[in-house]
Amino acid sequence: MSAPLRRRRELLLAASGAVLAPSVVFAQPRKLPRVVWISMVEDEYKVRVEAALKKRGLVDGTNISLEIPGGRMATDDARLRELVASRPDVIVVLGAPDFLQAHTREIPVIFYNWNSDPVKMGLVESFRRPGTNMTGVYLPWSEIQTRQWQLLKDFNPSMKAGCIVQSRESMDEYDKQWAPRAEQVQKQYQWWADARRAVEKRLAITLREIRLSDSATRKEIEAAVAHPRADALRVENGVGGPEWRSFVRNTRIPTCCYSSWRAKRGMAIVGVSFNWIEGVEQAAERVALVLRGENPATIPIYIIREFSVTVNMGLARAAGIRIPASVLLQAAERYDGPINLDEGYYDP
C-alpha cells in the first residue's frame, strides 16, 4: 500500500472513531431515581417501607435508589436544606411536611400519616386536586378524637368533663422545634382547638388540658388530675413513665390513648389506632405514580378511615374498672398479656 493510501486510511479510521465515541458515552448506565423517605421509626418500619415499594415494582438498587435517614430530620432546617440541594426525585415524609414547604415548591413531596388538615394548613388547595408539589395521606384527627371520647363516655354515660393529659417536655420540645414557623404553629393550635370544640359540641362534654412533667410523682399526677374533676382521661403521646403507669393501674378513672401499642404497655386501658401501614402503602403508591410521570398537584390526597380499638383487660381488672359491652364489641383486640416495655414501637 502506498504512503498516500495508508495516510488516507488512517484519517478515515480516526474520523469513524470520533463518530462512535458519543454512542459509547450514551451507553453508560442510567442514574436510578432517588427516593428519600424521612421517618423516625426503626428497622422494622424500614422493612415495611421496602415491602410496600416492592409491591409497586420499586426495588432499591434495581430501579430506584432508596434512602431512609433517621432522627428528627423532618423539622431540621439545616438538614432539609442540604437534602433539597441534592435534588432527589421524590421526598416522602412521615408526619408534618411544613418545614419542607419552606425549602422547595418543585421537588415532589409525599406526606403520610399526618393528622392536620393540609387544606386548612395552607399546604394544598384541595383533597381532590392538591395543586402544589405536595400530596399524601391524611389521618382525620377530629374523627379519631371523637371516637376516643365516645368510647370513654360509654364507661360513664353521664360524663360531663374530660381531661387531655399532655407531656410538658414533649410540648415544650414541639414549641421549640416549631419556633421558626410561628404562623404554622398558630394554624396547628387553631386546628387542634377547632377539633376539640367539635368533640365537645357533639358529645356535650367539656374538655380541659393539663401538662405533666415526665418526672412527676404519683402524688403530683393525682393532684393534677383531680383539679379539673375529670370523669375520663385521654392520654397524649409522650406521657407514659413508670409513675403514670402506676397511676393508671390504681385509679378508677377510665383512660384512653392513641395506639394499641401504648394501651398494651399500660399507658391507658383503651387504645384507638388508625392503620399506619395503610398510610405506608398509600404513600408508596404515590411514589410509584410520581416516578411514572404523574404530577403530585393532580394526585388526590388519601384519607384513612379505618381504625381499630384495643382494650387492656388486665389493666382494667387491676384498676377495678368494668369494660362496657359497647366497648368490647368494638375492640379488635382484647389484650390480656404482660406489659412488655422492651418490645419495639410498632402499630399493625
pLDDT in tens, 8-18: 555 444 444 44
Which is higher by pLDDT, 97 or 28? Answer: 97
CA distance 296 to 92: 12
Rg of the chain's alpha carbons, rounded to an integer?
27
pLDDT number for residue 324 = 95
33 CB burial (10 A radius; 0-12, 13-18, 19+): middle
Looking at the predicted structure, is the pLDDT value of residue 179 above 90? no
Q: Give the number of residues written for the chain.
A: 348
pLDDT at residue 190 tops 80: no
C-alpha cell at 125: 388547595
Q: What is the pLDDT of residues 123-162, one digit of tens each?
A: 999 999 999 999 999 988 878 888 999 999 999 999 999 9
pLDDT in tens, 82-91: 999 999 999 9
Confidence of residue 6 (pLDDT cuts 50, 70, 90): low
Cell of 100: 419542607
Residue 41, pLDDT above cutoff 80:
no
What are the structural domains, with CATH classification, of the chain? 34-140+276-303 (3.40.50.2300), 141-273+307-335 (3.40.50.2300)
Q: Which of 289, 273, 267 is nearest to 330 (CA)?
A: 273
CB atoms within 10 A of CB 66: 20
Q: Which residue has the higher pLDDT, 180 or 129?
A: 129
**Rounded distance, CA 213 to CA 220, Å?**
9
Q: What are the Cα distances from residue 39, in Å, to 45, 115, 284, 317, 348?
A: 9, 15, 13, 37, 16
Band of the pLDDT at 29, cuts 50, 70, 90?
low
Which whole number is the average pLDDT over 306-327? 93
Indicate the pLDDT class of residue 44, thresholds 50, 70 and 90: low
Checking if the pLDDT of 295 tops 60, the result is yes
Q: Cα–chain-centroid distance for residue 318? A: 32
Task: Summarize pLDDT for 52-104 with one digit per residue, the tens.
Answer: 999 999 999 999 999 988 767 777 788 889 999 999 999 999 887 888 888 99
Q: What per-residue confidence (pLDDT) applies to 157?
A: 93
Q: pLDDT at residue 342 above 70?
A: no
Residues 6+ positions from 218 with CB-CB distance below 8 Å: 243, 246, 247
Per cent of the chain over pLDDT 70 is 84
Is this prediction's pTM over 0.85?
A: no
**Can you read off the three cell numbers belonging to residue 96?**
408534618
In tens, the pLDDT along 279-293 reads: 999 999 999 999 999
The cell 405506608 sits on which residue? 280
Phi/psi at 158 (5° precision): -90, 10
Nearest CA to 98 out of 6, 210, 179, 4 is that of 179
**Pick from 237, 261, 254: nearest CA to 315:** 254
The Cβ-side half-sphere exposure at 327, using a 13 Å CA radius, reads 27
* pLDDT at 345 > cutoff 50: no
